[in-house]
Amino acid sequence: MTTVIFRTVTRLTVPIILLVSIALFLQGHNHPGGGFIAGVLSSSAFALIYIAYGLDFLEEDVLGRESGSTVEHLSHGVVTDYRRTFAIGLAVAAGSGVVAIGLGYAFLTQDYVIVHDLPLYHEVELASAVAFDLGVYAVVVGALLTILSVVGSE
């Protein structure tokens, strides 16, 4: 049983962890960070939620789906979603390399475009590495959350 203090701290820290995760994801192609570390941080935020509230909290209260106690944990709806996230992430990461081949470059060749005259940012660099980072992020989140939820049920 978790304490009220732990649940309150979890409610306050999870949004901060997810915000830092997004920031690290977005700066990954220029600075240290990227899909891997952002995925690890996002998974740690979900680990806090699991410890504080349990897996059924996410299924029932957040996603609004019924979670019967007779359902085997490996076929739990959230775990199935994590596996799907892993598979989609792997397809996106590999697909970002195949696109480069289709354009006549080597596998996973990266390029960027600078977009000028934007209202708030003035200039934004759009890099093709973001697609690969997004795939890595989804693979890491899907794999780690599957592991956490399956091992946590034991």
Give residue 43's pLDDT.
Answer: 94
Model-level pTM? Answer: 0.83
Residue 108's domain comprises 4-153
Q: Give the count of beta carbons closer than 10 Å to the beta carbon of residue 40.
A: 15
Q: For residue 1, give the 3-state DSSP assignment.
A: coil
Give residue 22's pLDDT.
Answer: 92
Give residue 63's pLDDT.
Answer: 63
Nearest to 29 by CA among 151, 146, 134, 103: 134
Calculate Rg over the CA atoms of the chain.
Answer: 18
Give residue 71's pLDDT.
Answer: 47
The tally of domains found in the chain comes to 1
Give residue 134's pLDDT.
Answer: 93
How many Å apart are CA 148 and CA 137, to the nearest integer? 16
Give every residue of the chain whose pLDDT is below 50, as ranges.
Answer: 70-71
